[in-house]
Chains A and B, each alone.
Chain A
């Protein structure tokens, strides 16, 4: 379910790093919690993001949810398709539903994030709390 080559945050973002480039999105769990996504607010290429800074907003019919940057870096590209077709976030959150691409500032920040198996355990914990 959760790709091995991604890292994950407690707020349910994923990040995939390739060299000094990274792609960021929200997890399948997140899209499922939100329900039908109907609006996405994206940052601008060139925006500089600190770790945990709000990079955008995802809205479903019933909820508004901030998306935070898992690490610091500079936005190089945003997924403009989400403007016209926000439901891609529901259909394919880990691939076509990517939100931004980043130029990574400090790769060591990744160490703080969860691996796929850690994230899956984290989700099990959340479900037990319910």
Chain B
């Protein structure tokens, strides 16, 4: 199994390690619920170095990113990151990702670990006449995510970057504990926070110093278990569950990232047609009213008829109830709609609710 450069810290801390798409990763250090609450209330540190990084460079790098993605990469500058996707001609997801402009003619796609190889092949195989070079940089980058309301206070003394000026999705370069890094105000938890990318051969210095600096705020390292419950409460999509090559960007409720006016891109025609004709199904959030916990792939019923499957479902540590996502026929997606979820052969009452389930209070 592959290991990140921070593996020894996870191993030494006694974290429970699991095989996550070929990576040996911490799923929990102590307790998913405690880790979850720590991120909501204080701050938590994640090793997300398993994420993939694909570099597109060359004189037509921007044109190529524009062709591959529905969002408008021409709006990027070196101080902004953008949520986007790799889309198929059908307007469905090869992957969802963050795009960074490193410099003129160099763009970095930050993709899901499970999809890195697939995405790399996809990006390589569509470049046709574009004058670009495509490189898989995933093994070089260490990526940390510091998330939670205390993130700014913890990271500030460790870097020369003016963090407080950074709005969400802003990017800066500088040193974190002396190591050259790219820092963005992004994350996958629904909280304020930063993601730190470094090519340093000693990223453990950053890991240790953040944990030390965060001690007075009760910082904890956070595993993939709480990462999943945090992102689901905030309704951030998980590839392979909520979005994949069968779900379109519009059906996933991510229409805001499709910029039809920017020109042609893979999937544009299909998505435009879908937008004009109207989508037939859409992702919806639900809450279980009866007893039980909805899980991925459990059947969903409306008026006794199976209409879909749960894409993501869990016990929400914040709301202390079972929540989930599913694609419903569009006429059933309004909050208040009664649905049922099949849990071990029994139909359990549930109700469509507004998403995101959780949004942090903005100052």
Contact = CB atoms under 8 A, between A and B. Distances in A.
Contact of B32 (A59, A62, A64): A62
Contacts of B27: 62
B315 A35 contact: no
Contacts of B344: 41, 57
Interface of A: 35-36, 38-39, 41, 57, 59-62, 64
A62 B295 CA distance: 9
A27 to B, nearest CB: 17
14 contacts: A35-B28, A36-B32, A38-B293, A39-B291, A39-B293, A41-B291, A57-B344, A59-B293, A59-B315, A61-B32, A61-B225, A61-B314, A61-B315, A62-B32
Given A61-B32, A62-B32, 7 more contacts: A35-B31, A39-B293, A41-B344, A60-B32, A61-B33, A61-B229, A62-B228
Interface in B44-67: none
Contacts, number: 39
A64 B32 CA distance: 15
Contact of B225 (A41, A59, A62): A62
B315 A38 contact: yes
Nearest to B36: A61
B292 interface: yes
B317 interface: yes
Nearest to B224: A62
Nearest to A61: B32
Interface size class of B (residues with CB under 8 A): 10 to 19
A62 B229 CA distance: 9
B295 A36 contact: no
B292 to A, nearest CB: 7
Contact of B315 (A39, A41, A57): A39
B331 to A, nearest CB: 31
Interface of B: 16, 27-28, 31-34, 225, 228-229, 291-293, 295, 314-315, 317, 322, 344
Q: Which 3 A-B pairs have the closest CB atoms?
A: A38-B315, A61-B32, A36-B33
Contacts of A60: 32
A56 B16 CA distance: 25
A60 B236 CA distance: 22
Given A35-B225, A59-B315, A41 B292 contact: yes
Contacts of A59: 293, 315
A38 to B, nearest CB: 4
A61 B16 CA distance: 14
A39 B322 CA distance: 10
A35 B292 CA distance: 17
A59 B314 CA distance: 10
A89 B344 CA distance: 22
Nearest to B295: A64
A42 to B, nearest CB: 10
A36 B29 CA distance: 12
Between A57, A59, A60, A62, the greatest number of chain B beta carbons within 10 A of the residue's beta carbon is seen for: A62
Contacts of A39: 291-293, 315, 322
A40 to B, nearest CB: 10
Contacts of B28: 35, 62
A62 to B, nearest CB: 5
Nearest to B33: A36
Nearest to B226: A61
A36 B33 CA distance: 7
Contact of A36 (B31, B228, B291, B293): B31
B32 A35 contact: yes
Contacts of B228: 62
